[in-house]
Amino acid sequence: MGHHHATAAPGFMLHLPQTDHRRTTRMRAFHVLLGLSILLLTSLAYADSPYHAITQGQVAYTEHPTDQPPLSGWQETGLPFSGSARQTTGTFWFRFPVEALPADQRDSLYVAHHVFDITVYLNGHRVGSTERLDGLESTGWNHPFYTAIPALFWQETGNQLLVRIRSGEPNAVLSPVFLGAQTALQTHYQQAVRQKIHIAEWSMITCLIMGGLTLFIWLLRRKDRLYLYFSLLCFSWSVVMFYLAIPFAPFDHGSWLRFAFYCVDLSGFFLFMFLYELMKLERPRLKFTAIIAVLLSAVLLFSMPMHLHSLVITLVHGMHLALVVYLLVIGTRIAIRKRSRELLVLIPGFLIIAALVLHDIYAFQVAARQPGGLPEGTYMQYGFAVLLILMFIHLVRTFVRALNSSETLNSQLEKRVAEVSASLEQSYAENHALALHNHAQQERQKVYRDLHDDVGAKLLSILHSRAEDEKSLLAREALSSLRETVNQSTRDVIPLNELVSNTLSETENRLAHARIPFEAPVSGNTPDLPADPKKAYHLSRILRELTSNIIKHANQGPVRLHCEASHHTLALTLQDNGPG
């Protein structure tokens, strides 16, 4: 990006000494092998087109912007033209006599490069211009200029073409002017716009989308700085593409140019950090050197005099290019030694980009030795965009693999938790059953002792009883106590529903023998849960004692026993119509 003595390709540009013709031949052969020679279509193929090329004329410079050509100071010049780095505040005027031009070559005008604003006059009539009403500077080095020429502007003889170029930092540039048929020149113009501008626009949009997505992923995965470095790389490169895509400078062009150059260096720095993180290197000095280089480039770029910008750009771009190439060499060794598929896939792409950068450096070095020279067929902007897409695909695949691995681990963890939970539940059930068994054994011993006291007392009462009915009742109670004791001793745990059923049956039988009506409504279903042996035993004895008291004292009936089971609670309510 830039003008005479500036780099136009957005990459790590620096100027090297001119090489010999053999090196030029080898470089061109290398381009063919890379399959990128098709991009040479950015230059005009005029061999078969009806056109007239203007390469000779006169030029004059005014120290201040003016709308009228000067009356003196005209000098012979050729195109392409490049102004001095000290002539940045005024206006360059070019005049070209146009005679004996065929009618089919008078339809339109085309200029491949112009820096900065261009205005074209034919015989005093304004034909076209890139000047903006808002006063912003147009940057036409990457934007070709095309305009149709009305037929009525032409004269029979004495036609004169005037071109006005507003100068600015770093210098003014004008490439050859072509007059020709609209069908030919407009086709070349549209082709140049597609290859230079539309590709830059789509590259900028793609970089913004990829940068936004990877920044979002990084916000979710703060520890993985690969996504952060890649997003910053995309954002910095999108600024470079923005510089290529827009036809004007959003602020002072000298500052805008410096900022665009610095974004190139930022792209190199974040590319370096991406590779450093990808290779998992632990070389603090190398990382510190890269940080110092990017800080130094900012100081140099924004403090440099414009007439030294070629030297400064060579220095700052060269530092980052050297660091990236050095890291690529390390990465290649690591990829071969560890047989890393990821590095083996990405490293060749980085090496190709480095080769494209060297090509563009060489192309600019050759072009810079010619007046107004701007190279055609620079490849860096295309290759770097493709590389960013490949890096983005790699990051997306890495993220998907990590996500799949996380889901697999989560599934395995859930399965393991289920297995442990089942094991714990089984262990709890076994421990609970063991506790109930031990408790039942303790209760069994207590029952044996109670049996001795209870049954013995009732038998003694039978011996001393005078009434036959009372003897019969006492005998039945003794027999029931004996049966209950035997039943409790043979079973560790009795279900709650069975306990209730047995208790109701016993109470009903005893009251029936005493000729007392009995009702036992049950609310809800009694759950089939294991009853605590101790509580079950005491419940039976309490209910039996209450029944005995009713038989002895109430003897009027009816008796109601209400049973309600809910929320792991059993409630028994016994009512009679006796006195008291």
One digit per residue, the tens of pLDDT, for the chain of length 580 reads 433 333 333 332 323 233 333 333 333 433 333 333 333 333 334 334 577 889 999 999 999 888 889 989 999 999 889 888 788 889 999 999 998 788 888 899 999 888 889 999 999 999 999 988 877 888 777 889 999 999 999 998 889 999 999 988 888 889 899 999 988 899 889 988 988 888 889 889 989 999 999 899 899 888 888 889 999 999 999 998 899 888 888 888 888 888 988 998 898 899 888 888 887 888 888 889 889 988 988 888 888 777 676 677 767 777 777 887 787 777 777 767 766 666 666 666 666 766 766 666 666 556 555 554 555 556 666 666 777 777 777 777 777 777 788 788 888 888 888 888 888 888 888 887 777 777 767 776 776 666 656 665 565 556 555 555 565 666 666 666 666 665 555 555 677 777 778 778 877 777 777 777 878 776 666 777 777 777 777 777 788 788 777 777 766 668 888 787 776 677 888 777 766 5
Helix (H/G/I), strand (E/B), else coil: 88: coil
Q: How far is CA 454 from CA 168, 462, 477, 502, 514, in A?
A: 121, 13, 10, 20, 21
Distance between start and end Cα atoms, the chain? 113
Q: What pLDDT was estimated at residue 370?
A: 56
- Look at residue 165 in the predicted model and tell me its pLDDT: 93
What is the structure's pLDDT at 4? Answer: 34
Q: Which two tokens stand for residue 66?
A: 């003016």
Res 229: pLDDT:
92
pLDDT on residue 347: 65
Question: pLDDT (tens digit, 9 = 90+) per residue, 511-545?
Answer: 777 777 878 776 666 777 777 777 777 777 788 78
Instruction: Work out the number of other CB atoms within 10 angstroms of the CB of residue 349.
Output: 15
How far is the C-alpha of 136 from the C-alpha of 91, rounded, in Å?
16
Would you say how long the chain is, in residues?
580
Q: pTM of the entire structure? A: 0.59
pLDDT at 59: 95
What values do phi and psi take at 2, rounded to 5? Answer: 140, -155
Cα torsion 373, 374, 375, 377: sign:
negative
Gyration radius of the chain over CA positions = 50
Q: What is the pLDDT of residue 326?
A: 80
Q: Is the peptide bond before 80 cis (omega within 30 degrees of 0)?
A: yes
Report helix angle 533-549 to 380-464, nearest 10. Answer: 40
What letter would DSSP give residue 52?
A: E
Residue 563 parent element (H or E): strand 559-566
Burial string for 185-202 (b: 16+ CB within 10 Å, else e) reads: bbebbeebeebbbebbee
Query: How buried is 477 (Cβ within 10 angstroms: 0-12 exposed, 13-18 middle, 19+ buried)?
Result: buried
pLDDT at 16: 28
Residue with tokens 């085309």: 110
**Residue 23 burial (C-beta neighbours within 10 Å; 0-12, 13-18, 19+):** exposed
User: Which residues, including other chains, have CB under 8 Å from residue 341's CB and lie 6 or more apart?
Assistant: none
Measured CA to CA, the distance from residue 574 to residue 556 in angstroms comes to 15
CB distance 58 to 93 below 8 Å:
no
